[in-house]
Amino acid sequence: MGREHASTGGSDVPERLGDYLLERRLGSGGMGVVYLARTVAGRQVAVKVIRRDYAEDPGFRARFHREVAAARRVSGAFTAPVVDADPEGSPPWLATLYVPGGSLTDRIDHEGPLDARSAARVGAQLAEALQDIHRCGLVHRDLKPGNVLLAEDGVRVIDFGISRALAASRRLTESGAVLGSPPFMAPEQLTGDGEVTEAADVFALGAVVAFAATGRSPFESGEMPGSDPLAVAYRVVHERPRLDDVPEPLHDLVVRCLAKDPERRPTVAAVLRMAARADSDARTHGDARVDGEGATEGSSVLPPDATEPRQEPARTRAPSRPRARRRLAAWVAAALAVVVAAGVGVWLVTAPGEADGNATDGPTEDGRSETAAFRPWELDLQDLGVRDAATEDFRCTTAEAEDIGLLCTSGGGLTVVLDAATGKELWWHNGPRDAPLAPSAIHGGEEALVFAHSDKGVVALDASGDVVWEIDAPELTGSMATVRGSLVVQNGDSTLRFYRRDEPVPVGSWEAPGRYLTATVSSGTQVLVESRADETGADPQLMLLDAEGRELWAGPRRPPDEARGMLEPFGMDAEAVYFQEFDPDLPVVSALLRLDLQTDTWTRTELPSPADPRSVVADGVMYASDTGGRITAVDARSGEVLWTRATGVETASEPAVSEGRLYLSDVEGRLYEVDARDGEVLRRGEAHPGTPGPGSDAWPPAPAIVDGRAYVVTLGNTLYATELSALR
């Protein structure tokens, strides 16, 4: 098509581009100028004329040609499709279906933020649009409020797939111009670290929903948009988003979408379900702002019948084997956390002479403050070589044996033991750096040993950090557990091996040929192992084993028919095993289950609201919680929901249970004491903010509670110890 008259650099409006009569200028952006145009038959289109400096770049033209061809394949209820284009024109241009009505940016500028229900519907519609875009092999890369148009029957996403050609041609800024929209760009887009995938669009969706609900980007300072783009980009990469004003029904969706790590963001299909749930929660809690005669704000542009998600099968990105192994690793990591919390326990550390209040001065030969009186202390984890506690899975627990102090681990790598009274480092052990699926170290129980990953396999370390013995386990993965006098390790995908805890003598093994072991949990007297048929997690089977790997059931057990999601064990005692149920595409817990080991009967309890996958059990009660501070208590035997309560704790940690109290920390490192009978917040401590790192959008690990003290890992990358009596 030829261009009869055009001027993209001045104020004149071109008269015609090919068969399109250009009527008026609609706006401009980093890529070019957009005009309202009309065909001979009267159909309106929006024509984007590409800026001359891009048009003169042969590489850009070639990419633009490919992207236009791909974008023409996109069709969907919530996209504005490309209807015509001339990538070879002078300058290049493309035409999309014109959508009357302004953008989401215009709507917020003129009328203020949307209510929670309308913002949830925007999220659902954007998720549907992204499904259509991703289905064609495209990544939008520039999803932002200005590219979201509000039609009478819902949103329309524009510029899908076209921005890839632009992103490949220029850096973030050039000659003072910002190419891209930093407040809505994923960290990996800004740093260039790693491939930009569909997960970048999920990040942008979360930022757009936050903008719709609050009127600002979660990464811009102040109340007005337009912050310095480089400062905003820095905050996107390094700082936590500001989500104080995001309505509670939307908070979980936004937090998960804005995870710094692309692997931790939900899939688009999962976001669609989360948005539908947020809409339902907002309706239930009356969270919509109402204007005039009962009309919900924003309803004129976001009608309810245009926002219900289509009933399509959930789709996930096809995993490569490494990603599938990471999924297995997530199951295994959860099982290991259970082993530490439930199978091994939280034990008392008492130095000789401390019980009667006597204290002597000076450390022992190994540096241990043998009888020092406890004083509150705080440690910067950088001093231990931990750059970010959240992303490096740093957590601590106390030991049963009086000669072992505070045991802290960072994944399967770092193991460090601290003096519980002073925080002084006693000894440390580094596991191999090239084994991301290796288990964390655990206590050895009565033998006063710590079992950790080593170059050879598994090493047993004594109270001074000296090697007592070591065994070969070249394919060590999964989790470790202790049961009676045995240490249980997983070697390879399908085999458990049992050794004496006090010496490297094998006592048995158990194998599930052709299957994958995905969880191991111990009661201290028995072991339950979960296996699955393949990397997709199909056909889960459970088997109960003794301390030498002998099967205690005649055949495997399977989840009950009413369980609709993935089951993951989070606790075990002499009577039962406890499970949390969640969708594998959306790691949100929807139900808690109990398997009675004597009767083989299941008790399943649907939760009144979704929780995060970090449930705990104590004294016959299961507790589910989320990062928003909501806790639900369930009687494990009867399945009765005892209570559910919103504690108001922001970015709540995993909970710990001790003597009828729940303990959890918040985003600023404050410790909270909650009554386990009804969820009432009883006391809280002082803030320990530290210096938040890249994992500050995660949740902290559970505090370790023992002998009236708490040991708390914070999102500020610190570890502190305090007396519970110091809580206000």
Per-residue model confidence as pLDDT tens digits over 75-106? 778 888 788 888 888 788 888 888 877 889 98
Average pLDDT, the chain: 80
Q: Is the pTM value of this prediction over 0.85?
A: no
Q: Judge whether 209 and 245 are in contact, CB under 8 Å.
A: no
Which range, 58-67, 403-412, 440-449, 719-728, has the best average confidence (pLDDT)? Answer: 719-728
The span from the CA of 579 to the CA of 670, in Å, is 29
The span from the CA of 302 to the CA of 117, in Å, is 9
Per-residue model confidence as pLDDT tens digits over 108-126? 999 999 999 999 999 999 9
Who has greater pLDDT, 728 or 512?
Answer: 512
* Whole-number Cα distances in Å, 570 to 45, 335, 595, 654, 709: 56, 6, 12, 12, 24
Per-residue model confidence as pLDDT tens digits over 663-705? 999 999 999 999 999 999 999 999 999 887 666 567 899 999 9
Phi, psi for residue 726 in degrees, rounded to 5? -80, -10
C-alpha angle 144-146-151 in degrees, rounded to nearest 5: 110
- pLDDT of amino acid 9: 40
The span from the CA of 649 to the CA of 700, in Å, is 12
Can you tell me the mean pLDDT for 171-192?
Answer: 67
Range with lowest mean pLDDT among 74-83, 550-559, 650-659? 74-83
Task: Name the architecture of domain 372-390+649-728.
Answer: Beta Barrel (2.40)
Per-residue model confidence as pLDDT tens digits over 586-598? 778 999 999 999 9
583 has catalytic annotation:
no
Closest to 442 measured CA to CA, from 350, 366, 338: 338
- Please, which pLDDT band fits residue 170 given cuts at 50, 70 and 90? very low
Question: Where would I find the H helices in 439-499?
Answer: none
- pLDDT of amino acid 592: 98
Can you tell me the mean pLDDT for 215-232?
Answer: 73
Question: Is the Cα torsion angle 241, 247, 252, 257 positive or negative in sign?
Answer: negative
For helices 198-214 and 104-111, give the axis angle rounded to 10 degrees: 20
Which range, 74-78, 303-307, 428-432, 519-523, has the best average confidence (pLDDT)? Answer: 519-523
Who has greater pLDDT, 260 or 402?
Answer: 260
Who has greater pLDDT, 206 or 11?
Answer: 206
Point out the catalytic residue in the list 84, 142, 281, 626. 142
User: What H or E segment, with its residue span, contains residue 476?
Assistant: strand 476-483
Per-residue model confidence as pLDDT tens digits over 620-633? 999 999 999 999 99
